[in-house]
Protein backbone atom coordinates (compact mmCIF):
# COMPACT_ATOMS: atom_id res chain seq x y z
CA UNK A 1 0.00 0.00 0.00
CA UNK A 2 2.93 2.35 0.68
CA UNK A 3 4.28 1.72 -2.83
CA UNK A 4 0.84 2.42 -4.27
CA UNK A 5 0.63 5.58 -2.15
CA UNK A 6 3.94 6.90 -3.49
CA UNK A 7 2.84 6.25 -7.07
CA UNK A 8 -0.50 7.92 -6.42
CA UNK A 9 1.07 10.97 -4.76
CA UNK A 10 3.54 11.37 -7.63
CA UNK A 11 0.66 11.37 -10.10
CA UNK A 12 -1.52 13.62 -7.94
CA UNK A 13 1.27 16.18 -7.60
CA UNK A 14 2.25 16.19 -11.27
CA UNK A 15 -1.28 16.55 -12.61
CA UNK A 16 -2.27 19.90 -11.03
CA UNK A 17 1.22 21.33 -11.56
CA UNK A 18 1.03 20.49 -15.26
CA UNK A 19 -2.50 21.89 -15.46
CA UNK A 20 -1.54 25.20 -13.83
CA UNK A 21 1.50 25.49 -16.08
CA UNK A 22 -0.67 24.97 -19.16
CA UNK A 23 -3.24 27.57 -18.05
CA UNK A 24 -0.56 30.18 -17.35
CA UNK A 25 1.22 29.52 -20.64
CA UNK A 26 -2.08 29.89 -22.48
CA UNK A 27 -2.82 33.12 -20.59
CA UNK A 28 0.44 34.47 -21.97
CA UNK A 29 -0.90 34.07 -25.50
CA UNK A 30 -2.21 36.98 -27.51
CA UNK A 31 -5.76 37.48 -28.73
CA UNK A 32 -7.60 36.01 -25.77
CA UNK A 33 -10.97 37.45 -24.81
CA UNK A 34 -11.70 38.52 -21.25
CA UNK A 35 -14.05 35.56 -20.91
CA UNK A 36 -11.32 33.14 -21.97
CA UNK A 37 -8.85 34.71 -19.56
CA UNK A 38 -11.34 34.43 -16.71
CA UNK A 39 -11.92 30.74 -17.46
CA UNK A 40 -8.20 30.00 -17.59
CA UNK A 41 -7.68 31.75 -14.25
CA UNK A 42 -10.57 29.83 -12.71
CA UNK A 43 -9.09 26.52 -13.83
CA UNK A 44 -5.62 27.48 -12.57
CA UNK A 45 -7.06 28.44 -9.18
CA UNK A 46 -9.03 25.18 -8.96
CA UNK A 47 -5.90 23.12 -9.68
CA UNK A 48 -3.85 25.20 -7.23
CA UNK A 49 -6.42 24.52 -4.50
CA UNK A 50 -6.33 20.83 -5.38
CA UNK A 51 -2.56 20.88 -4.93
CA UNK A 52 -2.93 22.75 -1.64
CA UNK A 53 -5.49 20.23 -0.34
CA UNK A 54 -3.21 17.34 -1.24
CA UNK A 55 -0.22 18.95 0.49
CA UNK A 56 -2.25 19.71 3.62
CA UNK A 57 -3.53 16.13 3.74
CA UNK A 58 -0.01 14.69 3.51
CA UNK A 59 1.26 17.01 6.23
CA UNK A 60 -1.72 16.34 8.50
CA UNK A 61 -1.49 12.57 7.99
CA UNK A 62 2.19 12.70 8.94
CA UNK A 63 1.40 14.65 12.11
CA UNK A 64 -1.37 12.27 13.08
CA UNK A 65 0.68 9.18 12.30
CA UNK A 66 3.61 10.41 14.38
CA UNK A 67 1.34 11.43 17.28
CA UNK A 68 2.29 15.09 16.79
CA UNK A 69 -1.34 16.10 16.70
CA UNK A 70 -1.00 19.44 18.41
CA UNK A 71 -4.74 19.66 18.99
CA UNK A 72 -5.91 23.16 19.84
CA UNK A 73 -9.47 22.78 21.07
CA UNK A 74 -11.83 25.72 21.22
CA UNK A 75 -15.57 26.22 21.05
CA UNK A 76 -16.47 25.86 17.37
CA UNK A 77 -19.59 25.68 15.22
CA UNK A 78 -19.59 22.59 13.04
CA UNK A 79 -22.38 24.17 10.98
CA UNK A 80 -20.06 27.05 10.01
CA UNK A 81 -17.45 24.58 8.76
CA UNK A 82 -20.05 22.53 6.86
CA UNK A 83 -21.41 25.56 5.01
CA UNK A 84 -17.90 26.87 4.30
CA UNK A 85 -16.66 23.60 2.80
CA UNK A 86 -19.93 22.86 0.97
CA UNK A 87 -19.72 26.24 -0.77
CA UNK A 88 -16.09 25.60 -1.68
CA UNK A 89 -16.91 22.25 -3.28
CA UNK A 90 -19.89 23.73 -5.10
CA UNK A 91 -17.71 26.50 -6.51
CA UNK A 92 -14.61 24.48 -7.37
CA UNK A 93 -16.06 21.11 -8.33
CA UNK A 94 -19.70 21.75 -9.17
CA UNK A 95 -20.77 19.41 -6.37
CA UNK A 96 -24.49 19.44 -5.59
CA UNK A 97 -24.91 19.70 -1.82
CA UNK A 98 -28.09 19.78 0.24
CA UNK A 99 -27.70 20.72 3.92
CA UNK A 100 -30.24 19.97 6.64
CA UNK A 101 -28.99 21.69 9.80
CA UNK A 102 -31.21 21.03 12.80
CA UNK A 103 -28.49 22.23 15.15
CA UNK A 104 -25.50 24.59 15.08
CA UNK A 105 -23.21 21.77 16.11
CA UNK A 106 -21.36 23.61 18.86
CA UNK A 107 -18.54 21.54 20.33
CA UNK A 108 -14.99 21.81 21.58
CA UNK A 109 -12.63 20.89 18.77
CA UNK A 110 -9.66 21.79 16.63
CA UNK A 111 -11.01 24.06 13.88
CA UNK A 112 -8.40 23.11 11.27
CA UNK A 113 -8.77 19.39 11.91
CA UNK A 114 -12.56 19.57 11.77
CA UNK A 115 -12.32 21.53 8.53
CA UNK A 116 -10.11 18.78 7.13
CA UNK A 117 -12.64 16.19 8.28
CA UNK A 118 -15.56 17.82 6.43
CA UNK A 119 -13.38 18.57 3.40
CA UNK A 120 -12.25 14.96 3.09
CA UNK A 121 -15.80 13.64 3.45
CA UNK A 122 -16.93 15.93 0.62
CA UNK A 123 -13.86 15.03 -1.43
CA UNK A 124 -14.71 11.35 -1.02
CA UNK A 125 -18.29 12.03 -2.12
CA UNK A 126 -17.00 13.95 -5.15
CA UNK A 127 -14.71 11.12 -6.23
CA UNK A 128 -17.00 8.17 -5.63
CA UNK A 129 -20.45 9.71 -5.73
CA UNK A 130 -20.24 11.02 -9.27
CA UNK A 131 -22.01 14.35 -9.67
CA UNK A 132 -25.14 13.23 -7.87
CA UNK A 133 -26.62 15.11 -4.92
CA UNK A 134 -24.76 14.85 -1.60
CA UNK A 135 -26.92 15.26 1.50
CA UNK A 136 -25.47 16.56 4.77
CA UNK A 137 -27.43 16.32 8.01
CA UNK A 138 -26.33 18.02 11.23
CA UNK A 139 -28.23 17.41 14.46
CA UNK A 140 -27.86 17.01 18.22
CA UNK A 141 -29.13 14.18 20.43
CA UNK A 142 -28.39 13.21 24.02
CA UNK A 143 -25.52 15.70 24.35
CA UNK A 144 -23.92 14.47 21.12
CA UNK A 145 -23.42 16.28 17.82
CA UNK A 146 -24.26 14.05 14.86
CA UNK A 147 -23.02 14.67 11.32
CA UNK A 148 -23.98 12.48 8.36
CA UNK A 149 -22.81 12.76 4.76
CA UNK A 150 -24.76 10.68 2.24
CA UNK A 151 -23.73 10.23 -1.40
CA UNK A 152 -25.37 8.37 -4.28
CA UNK A 153 -22.26 6.75 -5.70
CA UNK A 154 -21.04 3.21 -6.20
CA UNK A 155 -21.20 2.24 -2.54
CA UNK A 156 -18.74 0.22 -0.47
CA UNK A 157 -18.77 -3.60 -0.30
CA UNK A 158 -19.40 -5.00 3.18
CA UNK A 159 -16.03 -6.75 3.29
CA UNK A 160 -14.24 -3.42 2.75
CA UNK A 161 -16.16 -1.19 5.14
CA UNK A 162 -13.69 -1.83 7.98
CA UNK A 163 -10.66 -1.26 5.75
CA UNK A 164 -11.42 2.13 4.20
CA UNK A 165 -10.28 4.04 7.30
CA UNK A 166 -6.80 2.47 7.09
CA UNK A 167 -3.94 4.65 5.89
CA UNK A 168 -3.22 4.23 2.13
CA UNK A 169 -6.16 1.84 1.60
CA UNK A 170 -8.23 2.34 -1.53
CA UNK A 171 -11.10 0.26 -2.87
CA UNK A 172 -10.67 -1.65 -6.12
CA UNK A 173 -7.82 -2.54 -8.42
CA UNK A 174 -5.07 0.07 -8.66
CA UNK A 175 -4.41 -0.76 -12.32
CA UNK A 176 -7.99 -0.25 -13.45
CA UNK A 177 -9.11 2.45 -10.99
CA UNK A 178 -10.13 5.73 -12.61
CA UNK A 179 -10.77 7.83 -9.49
CA UNK A 180 -8.02 10.05 -8.13
CA UNK A 181 -6.69 9.88 -4.60
CA UNK A 182 -3.96 8.80 -2.20
CA UNK A 183 -5.79 6.69 0.36
CA UNK A 184 -5.28 9.30 3.08
CA UNK A 185 -8.65 11.08 3.21
CA UNK A 186 -10.72 8.60 5.22
CA UNK A 187 -7.71 7.69 7.39
CA UNK A 188 -7.51 11.38 8.35
CA UNK A 189 -11.27 11.46 9.01
CA UNK A 190 -11.13 8.45 11.31
CA UNK A 191 -8.09 9.75 13.20
CA UNK A 192 -9.55 13.23 13.68
CA UNK A 193 -12.77 11.70 14.98
CA UNK A 194 -10.85 9.45 17.39
CA UNK A 195 -8.79 12.37 18.72
CA UNK A 196 -12.06 14.20 19.43
CA UNK A 197 -13.42 11.15 21.29
CA UNK A 198 -16.06 10.57 18.63
CA UNK A 199 -17.18 7.65 16.49
CA UNK A 200 -17.34 7.22 12.71
CA UNK A 201 -19.14 4.55 10.72
CA UNK A 202 -20.26 3.87 7.17
CA UNK A 203 -23.45 2.20 5.97
CA UNK A 204 -25.28 1.68 2.70
CA UNK A 205 -27.40 4.44 1.23
CA UNK A 206 -30.46 3.18 -0.63
CA UNK A 207 -30.79 2.64 -3.50
CA UNK A 208 -27.16 3.63 -4.17
CA UNK A 209 -24.19 5.09 -2.34
CA UNK A 210 -22.84 5.36 1.17
CA UNK A 211 -23.68 7.20 4.38
CA UNK A 212 -20.87 8.33 6.67
CA UNK A 213 -22.08 9.00 10.21
CA UNK A 214 -19.95 10.83 12.79
CA UNK A 215 -20.86 11.41 16.43
CA UNK A 216 -19.04 13.80 18.78
CA UNK A 217 -19.63 14.61 22.44
CA UNK A 218 -21.03 18.17 22.55
- Specify the range with the lowest mean pLDDT, choosing from 104-118, 144-158, 174-188: 174-188
Q: Is pTM, for the whole model, over 0.85?
A: no
Check whether 140 has a pLDDT greater than 90.
Answer: yes
In whole numbers, what is the pLDDT of the chain averaged over residues? 84
For the beta sheet containing 210-217, the strands, ordered from the edge strand earlier in sequence to the opposite edge, are 97-101, 134-141, 144-150, 210-217, 199-204
Contact 164, 156 (CB under 8 A): yes
Report pLDDT digits (tens) over 69-126.
568 889 999 999 999 999 988 887 888 999 999 999 999 999 989 999 999 999 988 8
Half-sphere exposure of 168 (CA within 13 A, CB side): 11
The per-residue pLDDT for range 167-176, each reduced to its tens digit, is 777 765 544 4
All domains of the chain in start order, with CATH: 2-65 (1.10.287), 73-217 (3.30.565.10)
As a whole number of angstroms, the distance between CA 11 and CA 5 comes to 10
Amino acid sequence: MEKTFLLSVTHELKTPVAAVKLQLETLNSEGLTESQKAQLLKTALRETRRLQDLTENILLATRLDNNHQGIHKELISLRTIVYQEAERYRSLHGLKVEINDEDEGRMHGDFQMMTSLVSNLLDNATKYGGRELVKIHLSKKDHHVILTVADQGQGIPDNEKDKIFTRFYRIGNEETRSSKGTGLGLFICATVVRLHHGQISVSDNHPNGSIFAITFPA
